[in-house]
Every structure is written in C-alpha cells, then in structure tokens.
Amino acid sequence: MGYKYLVTNGCSQTQGQNCPRTEIWANKLANKLGLKLINLASPGSGWYKVESSTLSFINNNQDIIDECFFILQKSELNRRPHTEEIPLIRTDRWEDYNIKFLSQVDLAYHGFKDHKKFDANISFYDLEQWGWPVDDKTNGVGLFNDAKDNQRYVQLNFLPEHKHYPNSRNHWKLGPDHTEMPPYIHEQFEEMMLHWGTRISGIHHILKSQNIGHIIVDGYSPFMSHGLKFKNYYDTDDEFEWVKEFWSTNNIDDDDDGMIYDFKNIKSKWIFDSIDIKYKIDDVVLWSLYQFKPHQSEWNIDGGHAGTKGMDLITDVLYKNLIQKGWFSQK
C-alpha cells in the first residue's frame, strides 16, 4: 500500500504536551516512515473525541484516504464518558435478565423493585400524564432526589486509573474524608470496560470495512493490552518487572494497596479480542515505557508525559510493531 500520510489521534500522549513539536513521537515516526504527519490529537481527549475527529477526517478527505495510515491512541478509563448513559447504578429492576446495573437514563424510567434494598432516597415523577406505566409510589419510575447523598449510586464520573494514580484531581472515594470504597466499583469498572470495548471495536470495524490501514494502541491504561502480556521493551529486566507488577493486583511496596481493578480478568475481553492482532498493539501501555525513568528529565517531563528521550522509546516500539505486523517495510 502506498501510504503518504501518517494520521495520528489521541490525547496529550500523542499531541506531545510540554515536548517540542519536532520531538514528539508522531513526528519522529512519520519521518522514520517517510510520511507526512497529520496529528489530530488534543490534550485531555477521551475516546469520543478521537472517534469523532477521526471519522470527520475520513469523511472529508475521501480523495486521499487510501494514502493515509492511522494510529489511534486510547487514553484513560475515566476520561469523558457519557456516564449517564452507561450502566453504573445498582438496581434490581432487570435482575430477571441477569442485568444488575442500569444507566441513569434507564433508572429514571424503570427505577427499582425494592428501593429500600439499596438504601436509595428517591422521589418519583408523575409520568402517567405521558402514558408511561407507573406501578405505585414504591415500585414505579424512580429518580434520585439527592445526588450528594446518593453519589455512590447516581454516577461515578471518575474511576481511579491505577494503584499509584487514584485520580487525585477528582475524588472517587466516598465519605467526608474520601476514604470509603464505593460498594460497586468493580462492577462499574466492568461496565466501563465493556463500554470502551464496544466503542473501540466499533471504529475499528468501520475502518477495516473501508480498507483503511490503522492500528490502535494504549496510552495510559490497558485496554488493548488488558491481558497484561507485556513485552520486554525496557532497558533493564528490573524495569520490566516493575511494569508487570505495577499493572497486576500484587502489592509492590508498603504504601501500595494493589491494583483496584483486575484488568487481566475482565468479562468483556471477548470484544477486545475480536480486534485482529494486525490492528492493535496489545503488549504495551505507552506511558509505562518511560514512567520508571527519572522524572523531570528528558525521559519523563512531569510524571505523565514523555520528554525527548521518552518520545524516542515510544517511536521505536511503534515502528517495530508496524514492521512486524506487515504494515510497512523496514528502511
């Protein structure tokens, strides 16, 4: 395939925050492949932004689309999902279907069979005037009337990312001191992974159906690499061991409570696994490539973003994968 353009998309990991534009991995990789770079990445982006801007580019550049190769980077678990539409709220309404969680939108209509069972302080809308069924004042359509008191049930906007970065910018633990573990956090995590698996596989199948060359890679959390079958891309074996332990449920130091989620054993692995290995990199999280290098350095600018040497590490890993998967010939 005669590619002329490298189209990249993602968050700051791909945009190259705090790194000179000529030194970001997207630019270095494009130069190494002999392609012109089109970088659609923006800092703070979630997958919805990646998805929409990628599809907009494809729709509006059909004349050159056969000459474009795409690298799409998934960001964080919690970044800008439409949480009101994701099944995160525990209820017994659909338990007959083996569904224990509803979205906020669904809950507004279906409510609970027994709201007292979930200690839910709810109020009801009178929807009979719209012709919607309302069982009675205890089993009808239910909405929470106090989101502050019921935050554990209403929505969990910000799930923690991993053991050393519990998303300190946005409190996710409950209680006045933010020390109480949300009671359904693991189940909510499963629903989030299913949601992202659906979105990621969806755009993959669209691109594949159009014969558009592309590959998907993890930026900050294991999605494609949820199986934690990491490859040793690291300078030392000790560094590689730290990476494997970091993403596992093992404790790695005295102050570590272990991984909150077990990425390796997600129920929704089937949907991630439906993406052929040719179209994904499933053995690395880009952030991990430089995370255990010195911070505030050319390796790692601020703990979360690669410096110039960190960008070299990312470039090398992506280049090796593109060659190995047959997308490009080694030059």
- In this prediction, residues 1-6 reach a mean pLDDT of 90
Q: Tokens at residue 158, please?
A: 């910000």
| Inter-helix orientation angle 25-33/308-324, to 10° | 40
Domain ranges of the chain: 5-80+191-324, 83-185
Residue 160 — pLDDT band, cuts 50, 70, 90?
A: confident
Identity at 92, one-letter amino acid code: D
DSSP calls for 75-104: --TTSS--GGGS--EE-STTGGGT--EE-H
Q: Which of 164-173, 211-220, 239-248 has the lowest mean pLDDT?
A: 164-173
Model's pTM, two decimal places? 0.86
pLDDT tens for each residue of 55-76 = 999 999 999 999 999 999 999 8
- Within a 10 A sphere around the Cβ of 303, how many other Cβ atoms? 12
Indicate whether 120 pLDDT > 80: no
pLDDT at site 113: 81
Residue 204 — pLDDT band, cuts 50, 70, 90?
A: very high
CATH architecture of 5-80+191-324: 3-Layer(aba) Sandwich (3.40)
Q: Which residue has the higher pLDDT, 128 or 189?
A: 189
pLDDT at site 25: 98
- Is the CB of residue 89 less than 8 Å from the CB of residue 96? no
Indicate whether 52 pLDDT > 90: yes
DSSP calls for 133-155: ----TTTS--EES-TTTTHHHH-
Residues in contact with 250: Cβ distance below 8 Å, sequence separation at least 6, in sequence order: 258, 259
Burial of 288 (C-beta count, 10 Å sphere; 0-12/13-18/19+): buried
